[in-house]
Structures are given as C-alpha cells and as structure tokens.
Structure 1
Amino acid sequence: MKRTGEVILGIIGMLVYTFFAIVGGFMVWMGNNRSLFQQLPEELSQQGVEISEAELNSIVETMGNSGTLFLITSLAAIILGIVSLVLLRGNKKPKASGIILIVTAVISSIIMTIVGFAGGLFYLIAGIMALVRKPKPAIQDGV
C-alpha cells in the first residue's frame, strides 16, 4: 500500500516546523545581540513613544527565551517527523509512525500554543491517516 498522502502531509508539517525553527533561531540571535537595541529608546523617544531601558531589556529577554522554546520544539518535531517517515516508508510500521506523528502534533501544539498548531495540524492528519488506513485484502485466484 502506498502512503503518499501521509508522506506529503508529513513533509509539509516538517517544512512548517522548519520555518518556526528559523524564526526561533532569529529570535535567539536577536536576544543575544543587545547592542542592536541600544539606540532604540532614543529613536522611540524622538517619535513620541517612551520606553524605559528596563522594559526594553525585559522584551529582549522574553524574545530570546521564546526563541529558544520555538527552536528546541521545532527541531524535536522535525527529528520525530523524519523518524516517523522512515517508519512509514515501505509500509513497515504505520501504527508506530501514526502514534509518533499524533503525539508530536499534540505536544508541540501545546508547547508552542496557537503558533505550533499550524505544523501540528499536518502531523495530526498524517498520523490519523497512518492509523486508520488498512491495506486492501489480497484477491485470491481460484475462489
């Protein structure tokens, strides 16, 4: 039995998680480069927006922490997606693959809140398809 649908949905889910990993990496990079934000309070005060340095540091720190969470969760989801697709290839272990995809989708969606639901949806659908689809019975000759 071909599992083309599950494989395509898994690859799309991995691409979505790759995008989130890139965004998370960018957020971590921004959080580690505080020098980029040193002139920001002065520029904002010229535009009439007042922000203290403590508030700016809090924002940058939160961005770095969120980026780390996005990066780690996305990388784990990508790795588990690859493992799942390897198990699914050749219709070796579709049940194990489906369970891995569903668990990954649920956990990553919870950790990454609403944002992670985009990639988790593809994994969830692929996991359900892997569990539900049954191979066609073989037709016996001479019956």
Structure 2
Amino acid sequence: MIKRKGEKIMGIISIVLNAIGVGFGALILSVGPSFYDEINEVLKEEGETLPIETLQASVHAFGTQFMVVSAIAAVLSIVGVIFLKTDRRAVLSGILFLVSAVTLLIGTVGLAFAPMVLLFIIGLMSLIRKPNSDIHTSEYPS
C-alpha cells in the first residue's frame, strides 16, 4: 500500500484555494455602483463606453460563474481526497482531480491558475504512482 500523504496534502490545499475562489466570486457579486462608474470612466478614456446595465450584467454573470465553478471543483476535490484512502480507488480519485482541473481551466478562463495546477499534478500523481509489487511472495521466501 502506498502512502499518499503528498496527494492528500495538496488536495486539501486545492480545496482551500477553491473555497477562496468561491469567496472571490461572492466579492465580485457584491461590488457597488461606483465600481461600474469607474470602469466606465476607464473605458471612456479609451474611446468606448458601455451602458451600466450591460456592464453590471456581465460582471454579475462572471462572478456567478466563478463561484459555481470553484464550488464544483471543491466538491470534486473533496470526493477525490476521500477516495485516496485505498489504492484501488486511486485511479478514480486521479480522474476526479483531472476533471476538476479541466473544469477550473474552462470555467474560470484560467484565472484559478494555482488550484488548477495543483489538481492537475495531483491527478497525474494518483494515476501514475502504483503500489510496489513484491517479487518475493510468502509462498516462496527468498
């Protein structure tokens, strides 16, 4: 049986980072009207403007998407860490970690880079590391 302490620790770190991502999405949703005015002033300097309603809807949609995708990745990571307890389920755990990494890559447009990289590494480690098979068995002592 392989000790998968590294995968578990990195999995817990990625869960914490995904929880921070959920908080970041909530922070995006809680911005006030002055934030949209500042964005519009920056856009005016570049020669373009957007209606406040359009800008507010797009920021709200991105915040919601960031929260949902981070929450999905956190849940998949929690299930993956739980499945790491046995070697038989390490492959399933690795697949869950890789699916979580791809979800973060696509859903957050690469903004959740740190947990995405951690989950990708954990997924590969879970899939690649295999238990040592002993050449000598109890039937034929060395």
1:110 — aligned with what? Answer: 106
CA, structure 1 residues 4+41, in 2 after alignment: closer, same or farther (shift >3 Å)?
closer
Contact conserved, 2:22 with 2:70, CA < 8 A, in 1? yes
Q: CA deviation at 1:8?
A: 1.3
Take 2:126 and 2:29, find their aligned partners in 1: how far apart are those partners?
Answer: 35
Q: Percent sequence identity over matched residues?
A: 27
Q: Residue type of the partner of 1:67?
A: G
1:55 — aligned with what? Answer: 51
Q: CA deviation at 1:106?
A: 1.2
Q: CA deviation at 1:29?
A: 2.7
Q: Give the one of 33, 36, 45 matched to 1:37.
A: 33
TM-score (norm 1): 0.79
1:26-105 matches, within 5 Å, as 26-30=27-31, 36-37=32-33, 41=37, 55-105=51-101
Take 1:123 and 1:41, find their aligned partners in 2: how far apart are those partners?
Answer: 37
Q: What is the SS of the residue equivalent to 2:111?
A: helix
Q: Give the one of 117, 121, 124 matched to 1:121.
A: 117
Runs of 4+ in 1 over 6 A off after TM superposition: none
> Which residues of structure 1 form unaligned runs of 5+?
31-35
Take 1:105 and 1:41, find their aligned partners in 2: how far apart are those partners?
Answer: 35
Q: What is the SS of the residue equivalent to 2:110?
A: helix
Render the CA deviation track for 1:2-39: whole Å, top value 9, x for unaligned: 10111111112112211111010121233xxxxx4169
The RMSD of aligned alpha carbons is 2.8
Q: Which region of structure 1 is more displaced relative to structure 2, 17-26 or 70-79?
A: 17-26
Take 2:22 and 2:132, find their aligned partners in 1: how far apart are those partners?
Answer: 39
Q: How many residues align?
A: 134
1:33 — aligned with what? Answer: none
TM-score (norm 2): 0.80
Give the structure with the higher percent helix: 1
Q: Residue type of the partner of 1:72?
A: V
Q: CA deviation at 1:137?
A: 2.1
